[in-house]
Structure 1
């Protein structure tokens, strides 16, 4: 059991962010604290039930505080009890609530936190079904009324190959215009492959058993796909409002990942499947609907996003990402397979005559922001060679999201496109679940 520290009355007249972590159940709740921030107070109030999830969360915070290189100095003040939500709402010990845990209650947590006047930084997904989506819409309306921020953690916008794919797609001389595409050959395709068993911050990741219950975690089609949908909006139509009428759902499907009892034990530490998973047991194995595919249009351009969850990556490999943006002059492709050493790698593949000089000119346009970029001849085009300093890793992207949130908090608002695009994104994913389940 995590140790409880008596709550100290907070002085929030310093214009700093004072964090509250509510019911942490996913390691992303800890990753936002892997770094320290000048604008965030070092004391963090944690409200949670008495569960192993809290112990796992505190172990990660302690790991960050005690590491040799750049240790953090977080002071955790914990309230542990069944009335944790009521206590948080009553005590108002901070001004920003961080949410990363079971998605069964997440939308309710969002709505109640915003209604109480808290800003909210929430891990994806904010909604896992149509009912949650309706509550989320109301939460955004309340946030606007109360003048607080409601924002989701979109780490993939910080990945360097994705950033450069976006930037190069805006270069009409190199890329041309985004193709319209078809359902069979979309203009944009993004596929993400994940693994239940992995290492995080150097240690094997122990996942809570509820992570495999789609009623609590949500199906794959409404979970990781939110990152991919977000990227299609963000890359194809930068800083542009995407309303629900700008998006049309074409097709959606889902399928399960099968885990044996030994697989389940290795990733959760539990020797038996809990009762709430019994309805998903088939011939002694667990079937969890972690995989999904969505085909849709954005402003008339076809896009496809898909997420695949395997149990464990082969030795020496890891999570992978594939992405292509098809232009009238060139395709921009991100691969992350064996050929790339499982590192995201960006390629420019011309579909019309493009000279070396024209390709180099596009890279030169980026050098003022991303120095050190070079081009290397590759099969059917060029590989964009990116200096190692930009490859900071997925975990470091959480600090970059937090820095964006801090900027929004200090400004008192977000860019005009953020909220409508979040609403459209979750409307699309939850509608896709309905279609795939029919």
Structure 2
């Protein structure tokens, strides 16, 4: 009897040890600055040594410089130690050594889905930057990867930073406050119930410095078209806000139309953001003339999700005359519309507005008290016929900090060995929408 109890205690101790096993990051071919942003802070129960596997080159050096800048800063310095393997066999080396239990992948997307599938087969958890696939072929591989991940009891998750933005959080809260919003309209293709437009810029600042883009970022066969890249965020927000905690499938979607168009980029502009004086051979296919390429970075999808008509638009311009990336979103309800605006009038800071349709001031103020209890410090300011939701600065953590917040969520899921039940089907749905829409847009030209 004593032996049985002793064995039981040992078994329980081993289970607890396994659950509390420190997380060890692996970074694979970090060609995108998002790979560094998830290390913008330290995490409890995560080892400071990170094993990096990449081909030699500027992408790797830029990544290591960003990590070192976090370590060297005066305020809240990190203490990461990057253990680097350089070589063309970087992926095979990573798989064979398996020196970590969470892979971070944010870079060239051409082979990303293939890497995801093989990493899942190796039994390593994966946190992947969007997009996890950029075309229909990649989508089929991604479906296999999720099957393998489930079989191997590991997590596969993508980095959805916009869910951490306070204006999108509050927009979702108001959408599900019937006393203010009413019910979500169904809309029509011409007048959708949900419309979102996201504008990005090739030339921008990150972590206080001008962002240096890799040359392949302008090649849509490696980065992905806008309709399959940035659009992932917009599709995610539409279903996350409209149908929270509900598992959705392809049968819930009808794509009405999709289109794509290019952003012209001159050689001078290309050189400014890459430091390279000539177009590489892989961009010759995109030449308009000797000094300008077409980058198919823009896209629009018009579809319905469970009967709710949705229109999403992702745009890329070269640079902003003022401000930076912007986000506009409107969700139409029977009692009020909820809008996020980030234009010049908002000084390029995202702001949230309530536009009453069939909503009295008294009804609004009364119902808003419940939201104030959940988010202390927020308030309403009347501006002509609409209301601005005043948000304290403490809630505005900023886009770069959102990567750490996503990692916090992922580590919590990883400790529990489980994602929310709806996450996997909804991840698959959004990549079905983006890749299917890309096929439709290409066939329409």
Question: Which residue of the other structure, out of 331, 339, 356, is the alignment partner of 2:337?
Answer: 331
Aligned position for 1:115: 121
Shift of 1:357: 2.4
Indicate whether 1:124 and 2:130 are aligned.
yes
Question: Which residue of the other structure, out of 296, 300, 306, is the alignment partner of 1:293?
Answer: 300
Indicate whether 1:161 and 2:162 are aligned.
no
Aligned position for 1:303: 310
2-structure distance, mates of 1:36, 1:192 = 30
Q: Deviations over 1:19-69 (max 9, x none)?
A: 000011000000000000012111100000011100000000000000010
Shift of 1:268: 0.6
Aligned position for 1:37: 43
Question: Which residue of the other structure, out of 44, 58, 64, is the alignment partner of 1:58?
Answer: 64
1-structure distance, mates of 2:221, 2:126 = 23
Q: Deviations over 1:3-25 (max 9, x none)?
A: xxxxxxxx999512110000110
Indicate whether 1:179 and 2:185 are aligned.
yes
Structure 2's unaligned 5+ residue stretches are 1-16
Aligned position for 2:102: 96
Question: Which residue of the other structure, out of 396, 401, 410, is the alignment partner of 1:391?
Answer: 396
2-structure distance, mates of 1:333, 1:364 = 20
The structure-2 alpha-carbon separation of the partners of 1:373 and 1:14, relative to structure 1 and needing over 3 Å to count, comes to: closer
Indicate whether 1:347 and 2:353 are aligned.
yes
1-structure distance, mates of 2:416, 2:365 = 37
Shift of 1:366: 1.6
Aligned position for 1:430: 435
Q: Deviations over 1:349-394 (max 9, x none)?
A: 0111x22222122321122331101100113221100001111110
1:201-240 equivalence runs, <5 A: 201-240=207-246
2:372–2:379 contact (8 Å) kept in structure 1: no
Look up the SS of the partner of 1:102 in the other structure. coil
Question: Which residue of the other structure, out of 140, 147, 157, is the alignment partner of 1:141?
Answer: 147
2:26–2:101 contact (8 Å) kept in structure 1: yes
Aligned position for 2:373: 368
2-structure distance, mates of 1:91, 1:369 = 46
Runs of 4+ in 1 over 3 A off after TM superposition: 11-14
Question: Which residue of the other structure, out of 415, 419, 442, is the alignment partner of 1:414?
Answer: 419
Shift of 1:98: 0.3
Look up the SS of the partner of 1:366 in the other structure. helix
Structure 1's unaligned 5+ residue stretches are 1-10
Aligned position for 1:258: 264
2-structure distance, mates of 1:166, 1:37 = 28
1:12–1:18 contact (8 Å) kept in structure 2: no
1-structure distance, mates of 2:288, 2:405 = 42
1-structure distance, mates of 2:229, 2:94 = 26
CA RMSD, 1 decimal: 1.1
State the TM-score, normalized to the length of structure 2.
0.94
Look up the SS of the partner of 1:365 in the other structure. helix
1:248–1:297 contact (8 Å) kept in structure 2: yes
More helix per residue: 1 or 2? 2
2-structure distance, mates of 1:13, 1:375 = 45
Question: Which residue of the other structure, out of 270, 273, 285, is the alignment partner of 1:267?
Answer: 273
The structure-2 alpha-carbon separation of the partners of 1:320 and 1:13, relative to structure 1 and needing over 3 Å to count, comes to: closer
1:363–1:373 contact (8 Å) kept in structure 2: no
Give the total of aligned pairs. Answer: 426
State the TM-score, normalized to the length of structure 1.
0.96
2-structure distance, mates of 1:186, 1:329 = 16
